[in-house]
Amino acid sequence: MTTSWVRALVAAVACAAVAACAAGGARTESLSPEGLAALEAQRAQRPTDPDLNLRLARAYHGANRFADARAALATVLLQQPGNRVAQAYLGFTYEGLEQFDSARAVYGALLAGRPSGEVSRLLNGRLALLARKELHANARAALARESELSRTPPDPNTVAVFPFRYTGQDSSLRPLERGLAALVVSDLSHVRSLRLVERERLQALLDEMQLATSGRVDPATGARSGHLVGAGQVVQGQFQEVPTAGVRLDAAMVRAADAGVAATGSGRDQLNLLFDVEKSVVFQLLAKMGVPLTPAESLAISERPTRDLQAFLLYSRGLEQEDRGDFGAASASFRAAAQRDPSFQAAAQQAQSSDAAQSAGGVGSEGNLAAAIGGGGPGGSPAGGTADALTLAINSTVPSGAAIVSGTQTTTEINLPVRNDPVCEAAGCGGPTLPPPLSVGTIIIIINRP
């Protein structure tokens, strides 16, 4: 597998240099509008030619003509269901169409083919980028439905945690805004009676709202955001330095129903005791909310992810970099945090995820799919790069006809009432056509055998 991957990577570099590869591999097209028209004219003469349709699909994809790319890929996959290059581009195209369930199904089918470790890492990177795009798309959809959602009572046991607002003067501490929020989410997730909104989901909403920093402690903003993510309670807070090298942390639990403050918590101590301060504030909020805790829950909340403040600061910086789409810098920060404290599991996991996303090509917060594919040549067509390496590697290492069921896993498909997608069926991914405005798809449950 490793040798195949090296060959594929070398071939991808050669493709980028000469803009051509052997038939059946990934091709790099740098087409002007006239060149695209000429390619379409050739396809009119040979409408079922799979190589020609794959070239055209790549060119359409580079021009963000995703529906046209999908149609061209249909022709390829109906004739060559095992064409892994076309399957990979089908996943990219579904991303462009914001049919995220179908894209996820394509990548899942490719992963189930047991590719090499490096190819698996790149595919998981695509999935990480896909999750980020989906969060932002869902946030935009929620904002578009805000009037409807504002009339829907949110679940009172669901909690969202805002990034804490830093009001001090030492800019090196600003990344703790996200780190503290992640820590509070982690602590509250140990309470079985509560459901937590993922930090990344709320951050995507705040990004789409273009919320000013000052809005993070406005109860009205908290209530609005709570309705948009279905949270009945929203934690908002701020922190700053205090004399004698200390830190003060204040937090409030805001009801989404009426923007009323249901509970508050405050702590102050030396900066190196930041975790003690945060735990104190969390316990205060829970006590004032009347949330009973079992001894096991109290013990779990009391645990520290790390006892190295510098490691936590590096981890917090990684979250900040990841939120703005700079996965390379985020990976470096997370790795540095894990090196300082090898027991800091969250940092090690985030480093792996960010590294995969960076390898898969996505660095821009705008989520430009063409840029993720490889940078773009004249006319907006992809000019080689990570996705070329990915698709070539898949073509070289994934056995033809690989099934979703493999190894020690079994799958159970729960087919919801949606219209099947013949393109995805031809690719063997099982992904659906997603009728607007709902995005409903096939759910695949993976059960590990004992």
The per-residue pLDDT string of the chain (450 residues; one tens digit each, 9 = 90 and over) reads 344 433 433 333 233 333 333 333 333 345 778 888 998 999 999 999 999 998 899 889 888 899 999 999 999 989 988 887 788 888 889 988 999 998 899 888 888 877 667 677 778 888 888 898 999 999 999 999 999 999 889 999 999 999 999 999 889 999 999 999 999 999 999 999 999 999 999 999 999 988 655 556 678 889 999 999 999 999 999 999 988 768 999 999 999 999 999 999 999 999 989 999 999 999 999 999 999 999 999 999 999 999 999 999 999 999 999 998 899 999 999 999 999 999 999 999 999 889 888 877 643 322 333 333 333 332 333 333 444 445 544 554 433 333 322 223 332 332 333 334 444 444 444 444 333 333 333 333 333 444
pLDDT of residue 42: 92
CA-closest candidate to residue 287, choices 272, 301, 268: 301
pLDDT of residue 212: 59
Question: What is the phi/psi pair of residue 111, to 5°?
Answer: -65, -35
The count of other CB atoms within 10 Å of the CB of residue 205 is 23
| Interatomic CA distance for residues 149 and 223, integer angstroms | 12
| Interatomic CA distance for residues 328 and 321, integer angstroms | 9
| Interatomic CA distance for residues 160 and 174, integer angstroms | 20
pLDDT of residue 448: 40
pTM equals: 0.72
pLDDT of residue 58: 87
| Interatomic CA distance for residues 211 and 72, integer angstroms | 41
